[in-house]
Structure 1
Amino acid sequence: MSDKPQIVFIVDDDPDIRSSLLRALRIRGFEAQAFASAAEFLEAYDSSRIACLILDQGMPDMTGLELQQHLKEKGYAIPIIFITGHGGVPESVQAMKGGAVDFLEKPFRQSELIDCIQSALSMAETMQATLEKDRQLEERLSKLTPREKEIVNHMLSRPSEVSSKEIGRHLNISPRTVDNHRARILEKLGINSVVELVSLTR
Structure 2
Amino acid sequence: MNSATEEQSTVFLVDDDDSVRVSLSRALKKRGFQVSTFPSAESFLESYDPRQPGCLVLDYGMPGLNGLELQQHLVRERISIPIIFISGHGGIPESVQAMKAGAVDFLEKPFRQHLLVECIESSFRKDLENRKYRESTRSARERYGQLTAREKEVAQFIIANPSHTSSKEIGRELDISPRTVDHHRARILEKMGIGSVAELIDLSASLTD
Fold agreement, TM-score > 0.5: yes
Aligned residues: 202
Aligned counterpart in structure 2 of residue 97 of structure 1, from 92, 97, 100 = 100
* DSSP-derived class of the 1:75 partner: coil
- 3-12 or 189-198, which moves further after superposition? 189-198
Provide the aligned C-alpha RMSD in A.
2.0
After TM superposition, the structure 1 = structure 2 runs for residues 7-156 of structure 1, keeping only pairs within 5 Å, are 7-156=10-159
Separation of aligned partners in 1, 2:30 and 2:204 = 42
Compute the displacement of 1:160 (Å): 4.5
Q: 1:40 to 1:189 in 2, by over 3 A?
A: same
The answer to whether the 8 A contact 1:84-1:105 is kept is: yes
Separation of aligned partners in 1, 2:156 and 2:13 = 44
Deviations 1:128-180 (A, max 9, x none): 12112112111211211233222112112333432223223333333332222
1:168 corresponds in structure 2 to: 171
Compute the displacement of 1:57 (Å): 1.0
2:185 is equivalent to residue 182 of structure 1: yes
2:162 is equivalent to residue 159 of structure 1: yes
Instruction: Give, as a single letter, the amino acid of the residue that structure 2 aligns with 1:34.
Output: T
Q: 1:145 to 1:59 in 2, by over 3 A?
A: farther
Structure 2, gaps ≥5 residues long: none
The answer to whether the 8 A contact 1:9-1:54 is kept is: yes
Separation of aligned partners in 2, 1:43 and 1:184 = 46
Q: 1:42 to 1:172 in 2, by over 3 A?
A: farther
Provide TM-score, normalisation by structure 2: 0.87
Instruction: Give, as a single letter, the amino acid of the residue that structure 2 aligns with 1:78.
Output: I
Structure 1, gaps ≥5 residues long: none
Provide TM-score, normalisation by structure 1: 0.90
Separation of aligned partners in 1, 2:105 and 2:49 = 22
Aligned sequence identity (%): 57
